[in-house]
């Protein structure tokens, strides 16, 4: 276990101050890394529970695990999750068509893939933020941002005001900060939606299998611990107003009951509508600069894609790593630094967003001979490179 010491401040220089807006994966990660370098960080999060109870499961590839290792939480993540190294593709009745070895995008000493309960990952990150010594305010948002050449004056929803050298907008897909600084990009629905639920792990379920065809576009699952999985079904998106939340279990079960293999056992646990999550797929990629002055976007605020490659959290974590690396190794926090951050992230993120949308498009269009394995292999192979 390595111990990290804060870097000494240059003589006569006051500590730099950063406000992080949003405490999801990217906001938490950048906070931990900046605190390690001795930078003062205030983190504000709109949800009073810090999202510690929401979500079913999450699939993390090696390149996400590589960042979590850098954050010092890999051992906890590994102990909490279920690691595996292959992906099965099946027919709707559960017949396995082929099994592909997963690419180890995080290098040879990390698993190719690890599933874990999403609330558990969030709690591990919360604990690491708390341990970092950052100041945390929950149930709090930024009401106004006023910039000048030297910094940003922020008024928070709790009535307090602060002055910061940099504001990092990590407030997600529908980022209010992105809109407030005049970046006009908005997420667009891709035409698909996903039903998700956590369930007990059937004996013998030890990897992700994806069933293509049947009444849904894709039915899949991922082991998240020795005892648990999360299961999901992807279909065309429907008007949300036409699906009352109390019918969520019935809706998901109606789709899932047509699948064989492990599905009959999983379907038994699709009972409580409050435990079923329904989300539309969105695409977002801010092509232009990710900053305005001293406010910069990370994670879903800058880019988001359908979870067809399970790279959403990985891309967000990588953003945090790259931005923190630049902020902690360069003497001057200037426009060039934030421009370099964008230049380093954009091609890699674009590759993942475009490929994720392409997979969805092939599915929506019913393209039979689409080279899904090839696109998957090429996309994930590229991610072996350090971000």
Residues 221 and 369 in one domain: no
| pLDDT for position 14 | 63
Asked whether the predicted pLDDT for residue 49 surpasses 60, the reply is yes
Rounded Cα–Cα distance for residues 152 and 147 (Å): 4
Residue 67 lies in a domain: yes
Count of structural domains within the chain: 2
Residue 66 in domain: yes
Same domain, residue pair 162 and 64? yes
pLDDT-based confidence at 44, cuts 50/70/90?
very high
- Mean pLDDT on 2-13: 45
The pLDDT of residue 11 is: 43
Strands 152-156 and 142-147: antiparallel
Q: Say if 246 falls within a structural domain.
A: yes
| CATH number of the domain within which 23 lies | 3.50.50.60
Position 4 confidence tier, pLDDT thresholds 50, 70, 90: very low
Query: Do residues 66 and 179 share a domain?
Result: yes
Asked if residue 316 and residue 174 are part of one domain, the reply reads yes
Least confident of 149-163, 221-235, 281-295, 366-380: 366-380
Host domain of residue 170: 17-81+118-187+283-382
Mean pLDDT of the region 97-102? 92
- What number is the average pLDDT over the span 266-270? 98
How far is the C-alpha of 319 from the C-alpha of 41, rounded, in Å? 17
Task: Among 241, 258, 281, identify where a domain stops.
Answer: 281
Which pLDDT value is given to residue 8? 46
Instruction: Please report where in the chains the tokens 């009073």 appear, as a residue.
Output: 48
The model's pLDDT over 15-24, given as tens digits with 9 standing for 90+, comes to 899 999 999 9
Which tokens belong to 340? 């370099």
User: Given pLDDT bands bounded at 50, 70 and 90, which one contains residue 71?
Assistant: very high
pLDDT at residue number 369: 84
Q: Where are the alpha helices (DSSP H) in the chain?
A: 25-36, 62-70, 74-80, 118-132, 176-180, 248-256, 263-267, 312-329, 335-365, 372-382
- Rounded CA separation 212/49 (Å): 37
Give per-residue pLDDT as tens, 311-343: 999 999 999 999 999 999 999 999 999 999 999
Structural domain includes residue 8: no
pLDDT surpasses 50 at 3: no
Mean pLDDT of 60-76: 98
Per-residue pLDDT band at 368 (split at 50, 70, 90): confident
pLDDT over 90, % of the chain? 89
How many Å apart are CA 223 and CA 84, to the nearest integer? Answer: 9
Q: Is residue 275 part of a domain?
A: yes
Which of 252, 281, 310 represents a domain boundary (last residue)? 281
Q: What pLDDT score does 363 carry?
A: 87
Reported as a single tens digit per residue, the pLDDT across 223-233 is 999 999 999 99
CATH at residue 230: 3.30.9.30
Residue where a domain terminates, one of 232, 258, 281? 281
Whether the per-residue pLDDT at 199 is higher than 90: the answer is yes
In terms of domains, do 56 and 130 share one? yes
Q: Between 240 and 270, name the one with better pLDDT.
A: 270
- With a pLDDT cut of 70, the percent of the chain lying above it is 96
Give a yes or no: residue 271 inside a domain. yes
Contacts of 275 (CB under 8 A, 6+ apart): 56, 197, 198, 249
Task: State mean pLDDT over 354-375.
Answer: 89
Question: Do the domain assignments include residue 102?
Answer: no
């Amino acid at each position: 276990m390595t111990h990290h010491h804060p870097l000494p401040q240059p003589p006569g220089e006051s500590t730099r101050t950063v406000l992080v807006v949003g405490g999801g994966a990217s906001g938490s990660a950048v906070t931990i890394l900046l605190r390690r370098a001795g930078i003062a960080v205030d983190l504000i999060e709109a949800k009073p529970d810090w999202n510690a109870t929401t979500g079913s499961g999450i699939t993390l590839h090696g390149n996400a695990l590589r960042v979590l290792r850098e954050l010092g939480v890999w051992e906890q993540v590994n102990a909490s999750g279920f690691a595996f190294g292959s992906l099965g593709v099946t027919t709707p009745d559960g017949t396995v068509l082929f099994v592909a070895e997963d690419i180890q995008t995080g290098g040879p000493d990390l698993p190719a893939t690890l599933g874990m309960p999403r609330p558990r990952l969030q709690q591990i990150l919360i604990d690491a933020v708390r341990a970092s010594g950052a100041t945390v305010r929950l149930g709090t948002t930024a009401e106004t941002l006023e910039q000048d050449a030297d910094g940003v004056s922020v008024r928070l929803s709790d009535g307090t005001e602060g002055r910061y050298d940099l504001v990092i907008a990590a407030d997600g897909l529908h980022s209010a900060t992105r809109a407030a600084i005049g970046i006009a990009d908005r997420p667009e629905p891709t035409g698909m939606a996903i039903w998700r639920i956590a369930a007990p792990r059937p004996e013998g379920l030890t990897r992700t299998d994806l069933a293509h065809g049947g009444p849904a576009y894709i039915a899949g699952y991922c082991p998240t611990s020795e005892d648990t999985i999360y299961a999901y079904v992807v279909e065309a998106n429907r008007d949300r107003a036409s699906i009352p939340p109390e019918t969520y279990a019935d809706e998901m079960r109606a789709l899932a009951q047509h699948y064989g293999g492990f599905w009959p056992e999983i379907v038994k646990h699709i009972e409580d509508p409050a435990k079923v999550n329904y989300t539309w797929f969105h695409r977002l990629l801010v092509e232009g600069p990710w900053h305005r002055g001293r406010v910069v976007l990370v994670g879903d605020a800058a880019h988001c894609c359908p979870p067809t490659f399970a790279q959403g959290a990985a891309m967000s974590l990588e953003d945090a790593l790259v931005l923190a690396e630049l902020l902690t190794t360069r003497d001057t926090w200037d426009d060039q630094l934030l421009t370099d951050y964008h230049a380093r992230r954009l091609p890699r993120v674009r590759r993942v967003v475009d490929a994720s949308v392409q997979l969805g498009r092939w599915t929506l269009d019913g393209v039979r001979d689409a080279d899904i394995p090839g696109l998957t292999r090429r996309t994930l192979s590229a991610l072996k490179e350090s971000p």
